[in-house]
Amino acid sequence: MKLAGKVAIVTGTSPNIGGGIAQGLADEGAVVACVDLVPENALQCADWIKSRGGDALGIPCDVTDETQVAAMVARVRETYRGVDILVNNAGILGGLSVLDMPVERWTRQLGVNLTGTFLCTKHVGRLMVEQGRRGSIIVIASTAAHQGQPGNIAYCTSKSGLLNFARAAAMDLVKHGIRVNSLTPTATDVGESHDRAVEWGRPRPERRGRLLDFAKMVPTGELPSPRHYARAAVFLASDDAEMITGFDLRVDAGAIAKYWPWIPQA
Ligand SMILES: NC(=O)c1ccc[n+]([C@@H]2O[C@H](COP(=O)([O-])OP(=O)(O)OC[C@H]3O[C@@H](n4cnc5c(N)ncnc54)[C@H](O)[C@@H]3O)[C@@H](O)[C@H]2O)c1
């Protein structure tokens, strides 16, 4: 139990990556506040953790609204007396090209991906400082933060912004003993997420085809699942990573390291 006695907040707890990370932290002994704009994602994720013997609280919250974020952090403080771990995972995926992107959609995507991460980090960071907790804050990026993906202008922009947000916040918080790191996932195998949706009492989502065969293009030949990100998040959150701050941990099956023209499984 690497996180026994720790209190974690995970944002964006759908059955996919956020739900997987919340479950992984809980399996290592953390109590987890599951935070999502969609109330069912917050509440069902918490119920699922409790049904597995853990302790969790579901909190509906829009991470772009500072009043809601402050209230969410206050509720976690009242319930669990503080916070040790924050995983900024809530995000809006997908998008459009620079030519087609309506400004309202651009603003919302940057708002959730960047401003939401900023607001949660600000309010959780303040609480950690006030309580003298040597916390760990994790920012979920994407391989799209490292590369120019076509048709995804706001996502690529916001995710690359998060890489340097994590470094800059790490510098702001280092004197308080709080570490800030990013974690880079990539195109994710959907099997585990679909199983988790069913375990939460939902119908099995339909498998949708992808435009690109990602699994053929990653060096490992298979895509990561949320549990692989969860293990990396547990590491970054734990004392094992006590000397690691301002770092980006890529859990990307080797995607970013790859020589670009090489198609390993061709
Ligand atoms: N799925 C992938 O292949 C992949 C790859 C790389 C990075 N990521 C990143 O991982 C994270 C999770 O992705 P996912 O695939 O699980 O997506 P998802 O859509 O399943 O989950 C995102 C969650 O964020 C929530 N959310 C959206 N706006 C919010 C707001 N304003 N306030 C609170 N919650 C809000 C959604 O309701 C949803 O539950 C995202 O940051 C995404 O960019 C995903």
Query: What are 23-79's pLDDT values in tens digits?
Result: 999 999 999 999 999 999 999 999 999 999 999 999 999 999 999 999 999 999 999
In this structure, the chain runs to a length of: 266
Give yes or no for residue 16 CB within 6 A of ligand 1. yes
| pLDDT at residue number 121 | 99
| pLDDT at residue number 211 | 75
Mean pLDDT for 1-24 is 98
Contacts 24+ apart (CB under 8 A), 141-147: 141/166, 141/182, 141/183, 141/184, 141/185, 141/248, 142/184, 142/185, 142/186, 143/184, 143/185, 143/186, 143/187, 143/250, 143/252, 143/255, 143/256, 145/182, 145/184, 146/184, 146/256, 147/256
- % pLDDT > 90, the chain: 96
Going by pLDDT thresholds of 50, 70 and 90, the confidence category of residue 139 is very high
Give yes or no for residue 36 CB within 6 A of ligand 1. yes
| pLDDT at residue number 228 | 98
Pocket test for ligand 1, best of 11, 13, 16 (most atoms within 8 A of CB): 16
| pLDDT at residue number 265 | 86
Question: 141: CA distance to ligand 1 center in Å?
Answer: 10
| pLDDT at residue number 212 | 82
Atom of ligand 1 nearest to the CA of 64: 31
Atom of ligand 1 nearest to the CA of 65: 31
Using one digit for the tens of pLDDT, what is the confidence trace for 152-211?
999 999 999 999 999 999 999 999 999 999 999 999 999 999 999 999 999 999 988 777
Among all residues, which ones are annotated catalytic?
155
Give yes or no for residue 63 CB within 6 A of ligand 1. yes
Per the prediction, the chain carries an average pLDDT of 97
| pLDDT at residue number 19 | 98
Question: 31: CA distance to ligand 1 center in Å?
Answer: 21
